[in-house]
Amino acid sequence: MTLTCKSWFIIRFAIRYKHFLLAVLLGLSVLAFGLGGIYLHARGSLESLVNEKSNIASALLQNTMDEAHIAVNKATPLLGAACTPATAEELKRISVLSPNIRTINLVKDDYVYCSSLFSRTLKKNANTHISIDNRLFLATHNYFNPNENILFLSSKAGDRYAIASIDVHYIKKTLKTIGQKIPLTVTLNNQQRVTYNTFYSETKNGTLIALNSRDDEFTISSRISQQMYLDYMLSHLYIPIYLCIIIAIIISINGYRQLKRPRSPQEELRRAVEDNEFLPYLQPIVNHQGRICGAEILMRWHHPNQGFIMPDLFIPLAEDTGLITIMTTQMLTSVKSYLLQNQHYLPDGFHLAINISPGQCNDLLFYNDCLSFMSVFPEGKVKLVAELTEREFIEDTGNAALLFEKLHNLGVQIALDDFGTGHSSLAYINQFNIDIIKIDKSFTHLIGSVDMPSHIVDNVVDLANRLNIDVVAEGVENATQEAYLKLRNIQFFQGYFYDKPIPPAVFIEKMQQQSDRQARLSADLSLNG
Ligand SMILES: Nc1nc2c(ncn2[C@@H]2O[C@H](COP(=O)(O)O[C@H]3[C@@H](O)[C@H](n4cnc5c(=O)[nH]c(N)nc54)O[C@@H]3COP(=O)(O)O)[C@@H](O)[C@H]2O)c(=O)[nH]1
C-alpha cells in the first residue's frame, strides 16, 4: 500500500504535534461529555415545561367546555317550545351568565331557529343552516362569524339540539399566553385542530407531548423539534455551557502541560528520539589545497523549548541508555538523503566522518547502517569514516574486531578520534587496524604558543607516516596552525578556521559554490591551454 503525499504530511503533522493534538482531543472529549449532559438536561427540562404548559392550557379549556356544557344543559329544556321572545330572552340570560360563551342557540332539522343574539324566530335559509356531526366541532357560520372558525358544543334532545358557540380567537389567545414560544395545538375528536404556532414552523419530526381532556373531547399537544431543544439549551443553560467550555480549556491546557512536563532525562531523550529532534550538522574537512573534500557529522538536539543543545550535554546519556544507536541511524539516514540528491557537487572519495561510541562496537547494527548508506552511492563516490573516541575504553570481546573487519570489507575506514588524550591510543592502533588518526584540538591549539610541545604533533605525524595512516588535524583555528601543520604534510584539516559545523543545506550550498568555481577554472584552463 502506497501512501500519498497528503497522508504523509498528515502522519508527520500528527507525530510532530501529538501532545498538542492529544490535549485538544482531551478537551474536546470533556466538552462533548459536558455539552451532552447539558443537552440531555435541557431535553428533560423542556419536556416537563411543555407538559406543564399543556396541563394549564387543558385546564383552562376544560373550564370553558364545562361552562358550555352547563349553558347547553340549561338551554335544553327550552328545545320543546317555539322560539318566543321569552325563549330568546332566556337564551340571552344564559349566555350573559357564561363569560366565555358567545351565543346559545336552538337547532331543529339542521337550522338555527332561536338564538341568544335575536329576539325572534329565525327563518330557514343559508345563513341559519348548520350541520352537526359531533358533540364538539369547528365551523364557520354566516350569522355568528363568516370569516373565522367558531367552536360549537352541542347537546341533543330528540331531533333538536342546543348549541353553545365559543370564540376560537379566545382559545388561540389562551394558547398564545400559556405557550409563548412553544406551539400548542388543540385537537377536537382527533380531527379538527386549533393551533397557535407563530414562532416555530410546524414540524412532523420531534418529540410529541399530548394530553387528553377529561372526557377525551379534545387533546392539547405540542411537538418539540431539535431546534427548540437547542434554543432552550442556549437560552436557559448558557451558564453551564460557558462553565463547560472553560473547564474543557483548563483540562486541555493542563493535559498539555502534563504531557509536556519535564520527565526524567532518560524519558526526555527517548521522547526526543521519537520526535526526530536530533539533527545532523556538517563540519567541512579540507585537503592540502584548501578545498572541501569531506565533512564530519556532528549531532545537535533541536529541543522544542530549550533550542539547540550541544552534544556534550546529551551524548553521555545517549550512550548510557543505548539510544545512541538509533540516533546514529537517524544521522546517517538524514545525511544520506542530502548527499544523494546533491552528489554531483561532491568530489569523488568524499570523506564523510561519523562518531561512534564504544557501546556501538558490540554488535553489527552500525555495520547495517553503513551498508544501507553505502549501497545508494556509486562505488568510490563517498568514503565513510567511523570515528572512534578514546573517551571510553572499548572492550574487545571479539565483537569489535568483527565489526571493524566487516566495516573494512565494506570500504568503511576507521579513525581514532582525540588521538593522544585517552589511555589506549597505541593499543587501539595495533588492535583495530586504524586507517586515520585525528590529532586532538588540544594539541593543535598549542601550536604557536610559547611553550608548545611541538614534538607531540611531530611524533604523531611521524608515527602515522610509518604506519601508513592518514592524519586529520582537528581544531585548526588560525593560519599559523594551518601553516605549521601543512609543513608536516598532514592530509586533512578541520576547524573553525575553515568553518564551524553547519546545517546540511548550508553545507550543500558551499559544495555547489566550490563545484561551480572548479568548473569555471577547468574551463579557463582548457581555453588557455
Ligand atoms: N557518538 C557520537 N558523538 C558525537 C556525535 N556528534 C557529536 N559527538 C561528540 O560530541 C562532542 C562534542 O561535539 P561538538 O560540540 O559538535 O564539537 C565538535 C566541533 O564543533 C568542535 N570543533 C571543531 N573544530 C573546532 C575548532 O576549531 N575549535 C573548537 N574549539 N572546537 C572545534 O570539536 C568537536 C569535534 O568533535 P570530534 O571530532 O568528534 O572530536 C564531540 O567530541 C563528539 O565526539 C555523534 O553523532 N555521535
The tens digit of pLDDT for each residue in 156-191 reads 998 899 999 998 888 888 888 888 888 888 888 767
Distance 299 CA to ligand 1 centre (A): 8
Q: Are 456 and 382 in the same domain?
A: yes
Q: Are 490 and 344 in the same domain?
A: yes
Pick from 273, 281, 282, 298 the residue to mutate for probing ligand 1's pocket: most ligand atoms within 8 Å of its CB: 298
Q: Are 332 and 433 in the same domain?
A: yes
CATH number for 419: 3.20.20.450
383 located within any domain = yes
Q: Are 75 and 137 in the same domain?
A: yes
50 located within any domain = no
Q: Is residue 115's pLDDT more than 60?
A: yes
Q: Which residue has the higher pLDDT, 195 or 269?
A: 269
Contact 166 CB / ligand 1 (< 6 Å): no
Q: Is residue 344's pLDDT more than 90?
A: yes
Atom of ligand 1 nearest to the CA of 477: 27
Q: Is residue 397's pLDDT more than 60?
A: yes
Residue 156 parent element (H or E):
strand 145-157
Q: Average pLDDT in the 424-438 region?
A: 81
Atom of ligand 1 nearest to the CA of 280: 46
Q: Are 189 and 289 in the same domain?
A: no
Average pLDDT for the chain:
89
Q: Are 427 and 306 in the same domain?
A: yes
264 located within any domain = no
91 located within any domain = yes
Contact 167 CB / ligand 1 (< 6 Å): no
Residue 390 pLDDT grade (very low, low, confident, very high; cuts 50, 70, 90):
low
Residue 471: its pLDDT value, please? 93
Helix (H, G, I), strand (E, B) or coil at 168: helix
Pick from 283, 355, 391, 476 the residue to mutate for probing ligand 1's pocket: most ligand atoms within 8 Å of its CB: 355
Contact 357 CB / ligand 1 (< 6 Å): yes
Q: Is residue 1's pLDDT more than 60?
A: no
Residues 200-232 pLDDT 10s: 777 778 899 999 998 888 899 999 999 999 999
d(C-alpha 529, C-alpha 519), whole Å: 15
Distance 413 CA to ligand 1 centre (A): 19
Residue 196 parent element (H or E):
strand 192-196
Q: Are 157 and 303 in the same domain?
A: no
Of 191, 207, 226, which residue sits at a domain end?
Answer: 226
Residues 248-276 pLDDT 10s: 999 999 999 888 776 788 999 998 999 89
Closest CA to 388 of 342, 352, 432, 345: 432
Residue 446: its pLDDT value, please? 84
Q: Is residue 449's pLDDT more than 90?
A: no
Distance 226 CA to ligand 1 centre (A): 67
Distance 495 CA to ligand 1 centre (A): 10
Distance 311 CA to ligand 1 centre (A): 8
In the chain, the number of structural domains is: 2
Q: Is residue 47's pLDDT more than 90?
A: yes
467 located within any domain = yes
Distance 355 CA to ligand 1 centre (A): 9
Contact 369 CB / ligand 1 (< 6 Å): no
Residue 319: its pLDDT value, please? 92
- C-alpha distances (whole Å) from 207 to each of 37, 99, 182, 229 are 18, 35, 13, 10
Residue 55: its pLDDT value, please? 94
Q: Which residue has the higher pLDDT, 395 or 253?
A: 253
Residue 2 pLDDT grade (very low, low, confident, very high; cuts 50, 70, 90):
low
d(C-alpha 15, C-alpha 159), whole Å: 88
Q: Are 204 and 297 in the same domain?
A: no
Distance 298 CA to ligand 1 centre (A): 6
Residue 127: its pLDDT value, please? 85
Question: By the 8 A CB rule, do 474 and 390 touch?
Answer: no
Contact 448 CB / ligand 1 (< 6 Å): no
Residue nearest to atom 46 of ligand 1 (CA): 299
Q: Are 183 and 313 in the same domain?
A: no
Of 226, 250, 285, which residue sits at a domain end?
Answer: 226
When mean pLDDT is compared over 150-154, 203-207, 344-348, 357-361, the highest value belongs to 344-348
Atom of ligand 1 nearest to the CA of 356: 1
Residue 458 pLDDT grade (very low, low, confident, very high; cuts 50, 70, 90):
confident
Of 192, 226, 260, which residue sits at a domain end?
Answer: 226
Contact 320 CB / ligand 1 (< 6 Å): no
77 located within any domain = yes
User: What percent of the chain is predicted at pLDDT more than 90?
Assistant: 59
Distance 470 CA to ligand 1 centre (A): 19
Q: Are 282 and 136 in the same domain?
A: no
> Which residue segment(s) compose the domain that 101 sits in?
56-226
Helix (H, G, I), strand (E, B) or coil at 370: helix
Contact 31 CB / ligand 1 (< 6 Å): no
Spatial CB neighbours of 319, under 8 Å, sequence gap ≥ 6: 357, 358, 359, 392
> Among 21-30, 106-115, 284-293, 516-525, which stretch is predicted with the lowest mean pLDDT?
516-525
Q: Are 222 and 314 in the same domain?
A: no
When mean pLDDT is compared over 81-95, 189-203, 248-262, the highest value belongs to 81-95
- C-alpha distances (whole Å) from 282 to each of 248, 300, 322, 510 are 46, 10, 23, 11
391 located within any domain = yes
Spatial CB neighbours of 282, under 8 Å, sequence gap ≥ 6: 295, 296, 297, 298, 335, 501, 502, 503, 504, 507
Q: Are 137 and 194 in the same domain?
A: yes
267 located within any domain = no
Residue nearest to atom 24 of ligand 1 (CA): 495
Distance 290 CA to ligand 1 centre (A): 21
